[in-house]
Amino acid sequence: MNNGFSIIVCTYNGRKRLEKTFEYIDALLLPCPLEVILIDNNSTDGSKEFIDSWCSKNLRQEISYRSKHEIKPGKNNALSLGYSLSKMNYVVICDDDNWLQRDYLQNALSIMESNPKIGALGGMSGATFETCEPQWWEKYKYKFAVGRQCPDNGDITNLKGCLWGAGMILRKEAIEKLNQSKFTYLTECRTGKKLSSGGDTELCYALRMLGYKVWFDEKLFFTHFISKEKTRKQYLERLLAGISRSSFLISPYLMELNKQEFYWFKYYKKLIRLIFIKKLIYNTLALLKGTFDEQEIAKEYFRQIYYYSFGYWRLKRNINRIRAWRNSI
C-alpha cells in the first residue's frame, strides 16, 4: 500500500450528478497522493463513459483516475471492487452526490494518523436541493446522511458506534483484515432503485469486532446534493422502510458487541408488548387518520410486529453466523 487516499465513487445512473461531484474532487487540497476510482454499478445512462471523458479533459494531473464496471447489482458489490482496486492506505467513500469540502483530505489525514486504531472516520454534512426544501426535511434529514453524526468530536465507538457511508474514511489495512477473515454482509445495501440500507452500519460494527475504533470529527464537512426525487414523500417512505428492515437484520451485532445472550422468551416477550391492545388500537387509528409523521410512526410499529412475528429464526441464524465469524478471526 502507498501512503495516500483512494476516493471510491460508486454510481448507478448518476451521469447528471457526477460532474459536480468530480469538480469538488478536482478542487481538493492534496496533502498526499490521491487516486480516484469510479465504479459503475450497471448504469444505463452512460455514466462511466461520460465521466471518463470529463476526467481526461478536466481532472488535474496530480490526481490518478481509473474506472470499472461492476455488473453485479448492489452498492456493497461496487464498494468491494473499489476496495480491491485501491492502492492507498486510506479509502474515502464518496457517493455520486457528495461534494467534499476543499480541506477534507487534509483534515482526514491529520485525524487518521493521530490514532492508528481508527478504522472508520466520519464527519458532518449540509444539504443543497435541486428544487425546494420539503416541509418535513428538518425532522428526517438525518435519514439522508445530513447533519451532525454525534454531539462531540472524537471516539464514538461505544456511543453511536457507527457512521454514514457517505464521506466515510476507512483504513485500508482494516478492510484487508475483514477480507482475510472472509467477512460477508448480512445486508443487501442499495441495489439500483431499491432502497435497502445498513451496509455502512454493518461495516462499522464488523470493524469494531476487529478491535478498531469509530471516530467522528466536525472538521470533515461535505455537501449532500438532494435531487428532486429524494424530496418526494414516496421516496422518504421507501427509505424509512429500508432502514427499518436493515436495523432489525443487523441488531445481532449489537447483541454480540454488548455481550447479550439471545433468549427466545425475551424475544417473544417483546412481541407481546408490541401487540398490547392499547398500542395496537392507537397505531391503527394513527395509520388511518393521523398526520404524515403519526402515520410513519404507526408504520414502523407495524413493521416491528411483522419482523418479530416472522423473524425469530432469521435473527437466530444471523447471531450464529456473526459469532462463528468472530470466533474464526
Concatenated DSSP letters of 26-89: HT---SS-EEEEEEE-S-SS-HHHHHHHHHHHHS-TTEEEEEEE--S-SHHHHHHHHHHH--EE
Find all residues with CB under 8 Å of 36, minimum gap 6, and list them: 6, 7, 9, 22, 25, 55, 59, 63, 64, 65, 66
Per the listing, cell 469509530 goes with 214
* 242 found inside a domain: no
- How far, CA to CA in Å, does 110 sit from each of 87, 104, 217? 19, 10, 11
Give pLDDT tens digits for 61-102: 999 999 999 999 889 999 999 999 999 999 999 999 999 999
* 66 found inside a domain: yes
Would you say 37 and 67 are in contact if contact means Cβ atoms under 8 Å apart?
Answer: yes
CATH of the domain at 20: 3.90.550.10
Q: Could you tell me if 150 and 218 lie in one domain?
A: yes
Q: What is the number of structural domains in the chain?
A: 2
- How far, CA to CA in Å, does 53 sit from each of 37, 57, 59, 64, 318? 14, 7, 10, 14, 44
Going by their DSSP bridges, the two strands 98-100 and 63-69 should be labelled as unpaired
Q: Could you tell me if 29 and 175 lie in one domain?
A: yes
Q: Could you tell me if 280 and 222 lie in one domain?
A: no
Q: Could you tell me if 224 and 277 lie in one domain?
A: no
* 241 found inside a domain: no
Q: Could you tell me if 220 and 265 lie in one domain?
A: no
Helix, strand or coil, per DSSP, at residue 171: strand
Q: Could you tell me if 162 and 55 lie in one domain?
A: yes
Q: Could you tell me if 176 and 130 lie in one domain?
A: yes
> Which of these three, 231, 248, 269, is where a domain ends?
231
Segment holding 118, helix H or strand E: strand 118-129
* 247 found inside a domain: no
Q: Could you tell me if 54 and 118 lie in one domain?
A: yes
Going by their DSSP bridges, the two strands 88-93 and 154-155 should be labelled as unpaired
pLDDT in tens, the chain (329 residues): 789 999 999 999 999 999 999 999 999 999 999 999 999 999 999 999 999 999 999 999 999 999 999 999 889 999 999 999 999 999 999 999 999 999 999 999 999 999 999 999 999 999 999 999 999 999 999 999 999 999 999 999 999 999 999 999 999 999 999 999 999 998 865 554 555 568 899 999 999 999 999 999 999 999 999 999 999 999 999 999 999 999 999 999 999 999 999 889 899 999 999 999 889 999 999 999 999 999 999 999 999 999 999 999 999 999 999 999 999 98
Q: Could you tell me if 212 and 297 lie in one domain?
A: no
Q: Could you tell me if 174 and 29 lie in one domain?
A: yes
Q: Could you tell me if 205 and 153 lie in one domain?
A: yes
The domain of 284 spans: 261-328
Total-model pTM: 0.93
* 289 found inside a domain: yes
* 254 found inside a domain: no
